[in-house]
Amino acid sequence: LRAVGNVLRDQFLFMLRCGFDSFDVASEQEAGAWKKAMDEFSIWYQAAADDRQPAARLRGFARAGR
């Protein structure tokens, strides 16, 4: 699924987690910032299309000693 048009950087991670796998970025300089955005968050509150575990499940695993 490809995102084109006025896609904002702050929407990027959410779109990626919902199934978008291609983005039309205006310039090479912006592409670097978008790549950096992929690592800005490591914990999520809700499950999505990707395989990341939500925060509540991670806390449950920690309590259970997993």
**Which tokens hold the place of 21?**
């796998």
Query: pTM value?
Result: 0.61
Integer CA distances (angstroms), 3 to 15, 16, 27, 48, 54, in order:
9, 10, 15, 18, 25
pLDDT at 2 over 90: yes
What pLDDT, in 10s, does the model give residues 4-27? Answer: 888 888 888 888 888 898 988 877
Q: Alpha helices, DSSP H only, in 1-66?
A: 12-17, 28-37, 55-63
Task: Please check whether residue 56 is in contact with residue 37, taking contact to mean a CB–CB distance below 8 angstroms.
Answer: no
Burial of 12 (0-12, 13-18, 19+ CB in 10 A): buried
